[in-house]
């Protein structure tokens, strides 16, 4: 079976600090988001893309088809979770309530196609899951003066990436419930955890960085070239 993919792209990219949102800044000569969308549309298991844009976005090129797959858009919200919920609500009727839906940050252009496939296969046999990687560095807890107060255990700690994949109705209910409780969930998996699920952690390549700062663009250009498959 194939799945639809939501692509949150309604952020403002404040940490990059460019003159436009980071998804439209050039990466290897093209807007960052084009790399992400093209990679997703290339995956044989992805049936269509729903890109979530800011209401004031003037840069979206109006793409309606990519690699023979439909590309739809909708308007996002204040927080990433608001944007994803708006996206779930705007999915076309071909996506049933029990169907899996992928969510992938526009800001992660270097995701490997093989890792998307691995997530769909492994998490699709459960209630859903996400790409991530076990923590490599020692994790410190800082006090207000920026001094290391304690060392957090590293075992069992993972970094969470996207894509994340959950069933449409369960994801919708989980995001709605988190919003109702006033919990600001930083990813879909967190909303699902609050709803009582235990999302499967699927190990993916560390190349799948979220372009967050200006210096990430150089790194992403390097990674793009070597993550083409
Ligand atoms: N995003 C979104 N809607 C929001 C906030 C973020 O769709 N209200 C998207 C971003 O466009 C990005 C992804 O979620 O593709 C991950 O968010 P992040 O890396 O934090 O991007 P920004 O919020 O744009 O950056 P910053 O936090 O530095 O402002
Ligand atoms: Mg943000």
Mean pLDDT score, 64-81: 98
DSSP 8-state symbol, 8: E
Say whether domain 3-133+160-226 belongs to CATH 3.30.1600.10. no
The whole-number pLDDT of residue 130 equals: 99
Hey, whose CA ends up nearest to atom 16 of ligand 1?
A: 105
The whole-number pLDDT of residue 227 equals: 79
pTM listed for this prediction: 0.97
Is any atom of ligand 1 closer than 6 Å to the C-beta of 13?
Answer: yes
Nearest partner of 107 among 21, 201, 205, judged by Cα? 21
CA of 117 to the centre of ligand 2 (A): 26
Q: ipTM of this predicted complex?
A: 0.99
CA pair distance 36, 116, nearest whole angstrom: 12
> How deeply is 144 buried, as exposed, middle or buried, from its count of CB atoms within 10 A (0-12, 13-18, 19+)?
exposed
The whole-number pLDDT of residue 18 equals: 87
Q: Please identify every residue whose CB atom is under 5 Å from ligand 2, which is an ion.
A: 11
CA pair distance 19, 47, nearest whole angstrom: 33
CB proximity list for 78: less than 8 A, separation 6 or greater: none
CA pair distance 34, 40, nearest whole angstrom: 10
Is any atom of ligand 1 closer than 6 Å to the C-beta of 58?
Answer: no
CA of 80 to the centre of ligand 2 (A): 7
Are the CB atoms for 137 and 208 separated by under 8 Å?
A: no
DSSP 8-state symbol, 2: -
Hey, whose CA ends up nearest to atom 4 of ligand 1?
A: 80
- Percent of the chain residues topping a pLDDT of 90: 97
Mean pLDDT score, 8-15: 97
CA pair distance 131, 78, nearest whole angstrom: 25
**pLDDT value at 4 more than 80:** yes
**pLDDT value at 228 more than 80:** no
Residues linked to residue 72 through DSSP beta bridges, in sequence order:
50
CA of 79 to the centre of ligand 2 (A): 7
Omega within 30 of 0 (cis) for the link into 134: no
Of the chain, the end-to-end C-alpha distance in Å amounts to: 21
**pLDDT value at 229 more than 80:** no
Is any atom of ligand 1 closer than 6 Å to the C-beta of 10?
Answer: yes
The secondary structure element, H or E, covering residue 71 is: strand 69-75
138-172, pLDDT tens digit by residue? 999 999 999 999 999 999 999 999 999 999 999 99
CA of 54 to the centre of ligand 1 (A): 10
CA pair distance 204, 132, nearest whole angstrom: 6
Paired tokens of 71 = 């590309």
Place 180 in a pLDDT band, splitting at 50, 70 and 90.
very high
CA of 217 to the centre of ligand 1 (A): 16
Paired tokens of 185 = 């969930």
Is any atom of ligand 1 closer than 6 Å to the C-beta of 12?
Answer: yes
Which atom of ligand 1 is the closest one to the Cα of 107?
15
89-125, pLDDT tens digit by residue? 999 999 999 999 999 999 999 999 999 999 999 999 9
Question: Can you tell me whether residue 38 is helix, strand or coil?
Answer: helix
CA pair distance 31, 224, nearest whole angstrom: 13
Q: What angle do CA 208, 213, 216 make, to 5 degrees?
A: 45
Average pLDDT score, the chain: 97
Which ligand lies nearest the alpha carbon of 21?
1
CA of 222 to the centre of ligand 1 (A): 22
DSSP state letters, 167-202:
EHHHHHHHHHHHHHTT---SSHHHHHHHTT--PEEE
**pLDDT value at 60 more than 70:** yes
**pLDDT value at 88 more than 90:** yes
């Amino acid at each position: 079976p194939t799945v639809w993919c939501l692509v949150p792209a309604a952020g403002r990219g404040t940490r990059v600090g460019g003159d436009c949102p980071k998804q439209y800044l050039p990466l290897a000569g093209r807007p960052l988001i084009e790399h992400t969308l093209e990679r997703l549309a290339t995956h044989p298991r992805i049936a269509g893309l729903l890109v979530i844009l800011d209401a004031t976005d003037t840069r979206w090129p109006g793409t309606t088809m990519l690699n023979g797959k439909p590309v739809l858009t909708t308007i996002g919200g204040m927080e990433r979770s608001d944007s994803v919920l708006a996206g779930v609500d705007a999915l076309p009727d071909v996506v049933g309530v029990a169907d899996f839906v992928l969510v992938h940050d526009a800001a992660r252009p270097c995701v490997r196609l093989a890792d998307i496939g691995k997530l769909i296969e492994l998490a699709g046999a459960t209630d859903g899951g996400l790409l991530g990687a076990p923590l490599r560095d020692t994790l410190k807890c800082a006090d207000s003066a920026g001094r290391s107060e304690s060392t957090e255990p590293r075992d069992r700690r993972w970094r969470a990436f996207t894509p994340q994949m959950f069933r449409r109705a369960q994801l919708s209910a989980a995001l709605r419930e988190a919003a109702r409780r006033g919990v600001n969930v930083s990813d879909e998996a967190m909303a699902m955890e609050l709803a009582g699920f235990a999302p499967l952690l699927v190990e993916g390549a560390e190349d799948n960085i979220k372009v967050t700062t200006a210096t990430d663009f150089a790194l992403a250009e390097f990674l793009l070239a070597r993550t083409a498959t």
